[in-house]
Amino acid sequence: MTITLSYDEKIAILDLGNDENRFSPSFLDDINAHLDDIEGSGAQALVTTAAGRFYTNGLDLDWLGAHGEQTQLYVGRVQDLLARVLTLPMPTAAAVVGHAFGAGAMLAVAHDFRVMRADRGFFCFPEADINIPFTPGMAALIQAKLTPQAAVASMTTGRRFGGADAAAIGIVDATAGEGAVTAAAVELLRPLGNKDRGTLGAIKQTMFGNAAHLLRARADG
């Protein structure tokens, strides 16, 4: 799995890879390094996308199973990434080209906007079905972005939303056909590229300050 970075004019396009794109420690290292590069460049906006059947399947459960003693540290790193994307000082959009599950769906929610493939792929928070309660930070992130109706429908049921259903309830902002999702996300951001980073960053910190604080806090134990 290799994360790659390209640009469409001044819009950074971060491709998360062509497999399940789970959040392994090396994946977290790689995506943060690319975000450092993007913030240090003249990029005016960010689109994240993927090249295969998955946008991202979230937590690397195989790695966690082999390194259970590092669970708190690992979850903390994932939540730091979510907080970083949530408050990134530029317009952001997730091009959900395939399945987005669990923490992968949370990564999409952390963006300002979401475009999902209309005809294939599911958006799902499976926590209620796999007996893993949301952390306070993860719950705050989702509730900061979705309406109460959409939060209950997605967080308490484990329901798998296809593109049309996700758009109808407001989980995603738009849908697009096969091969057109990333381009649609880029075009969604293109008119927003001249925002002052300091101002936009301050606005996001104010809007999402509570969720970002809870994401960056460490669980007891």
The proportion of the chain whose per-residue pLDDT surpasses 70, expressed as a percent, equals 98
Gap between the Cα atoms of 95 and 76, Å rounded: 25
pLDDT at 1: 62
Place of tokens 């819009």: 11
What mean pLDDT do residues 202-206 have? 98
pLDDT band with cut points at 50, 70 and 90 for residue 220? very low
Count of H helices and E strands in the chain? 11, 10
> Which residues, in sequence order, are bridge partners of residue 160?
124
pLDDT band with cut points at 50, 70 and 90 for residue 122? very high
How many Cα neighbours within 13 Å face the side chain of 59? 25
Q: Is the per-residue pLDDT at 219 higher than 90?
A: no
3-state SS, residue 143: helix
Gap between the Cα atoms of 112 and 87, Å rounded: 9
pLDDT at 193: 87
